[in-house]
Chains A and B, each alone.
Chain A
Amino acid sequence: MELPRSSWKNPALLAFATSALLALVVIIGLASTTTTTSNTRLRQSGTEHWTQLYKGFTTDAFAKIFGVDDSADSSSSSSTEFQLLSKDMVNGGNMPYTYTCLAKNGGVSPPLYWKNVPSGTKQFLLTMQTDAFAHNGEYILTRCDWALYGIPKTATSVPEDTGDSVGVIGGTYPGA
């Protein structure tokens, strides 16, 4: 409907039209804000959801593939499987040099502990084998394999530099 040109000069009608336009703008603005907020919440909710899923996946994946959380030490696994662990070894962290074969007198054994022992266990036997390769695939001869046997079933750990404290240890060390 086309208003007669004279109607634009009517102050009452002009005020009404202006008010209606302002009301319309306010309504649209509110609707937009509500929609935006709703979408933001939805996006945040989605992000949180996927973040949680991702965290769950990575944690589960690392736990399943590596047996440990990638950001923690080797004692953090919650698996019920028979496990050998060490609190002195943090994934991606530094390890005492003395735990290596290159240390003086072949180094010392690290502290280790275990959990979820198979039922019926009467004794434990612990070994350490070295597997060292250079970049070109050549074998490094610095080895210090050892075996600790006669560990009683009541034992749940071995201390650093265990020696014969919980069994009998023998090994091949540099110079041995």
Chain B
Amino acid sequence: MYNYNAPCPFGSGNNTYYFTLYALSDDLQSTVEAKKETKEKFDVGLKMILYASKKGMILGSAQLAVSFCMYSDEKVRGSFSVL
């Protein structure tokens, strides 16, 4: 990990999104129903990460960090890095 500052001469400032992929050593089955609210599904996903971490099931993780600046013309200029 490192701190990356995208060039933001004006606007709302830096924004960074972190995409993280976890490789798990076992299948985790969720009992969440498809019709559940998206927030509930999200909570299940977070609990899965915690559970996998606690059980030592995370074989590895890969992360893509996306730093970008928002401009008034709705164009997004960014810098991207694989962490």
Listed in ascending order, the chain A residues whose CB lies under 8 Å from chain B are: 65-68, 73-74, 77, 79, 81-86, 89-97, 99-100, 102, 110, 112, 114, 117-135, 140, 145-150, 164, 168-173, 176
Contacts and interface: CB of A to CB of B under 8 A. Distances in A.
Given A67-B82, A127-B20, A132-B14, A121 B45 contact: no
A155 B52 CA distance: 19
A84 B21 contact: yes
A122 B19 contact: no
B28 A84 contact: no
Contacts of B59: 118-121
Contacts of A65: 2
A122 B27 contact: yes
B80 to A, nearest CB: 4
A169 B43 CA distance: 10
A123 B24 contact: yes
A92 B79 contact: yes
A147 B42 contact: yes
A119 B26 CA distance: 12
Given A121-B59, A145-B42, A149-B48, 11 more contacts: A68-B81, A77-B82, A81-B62, A83-B82, A90-B80, A95-B77, A99-B76, A112-B19, A135-B13, A170-B38, A171-B41
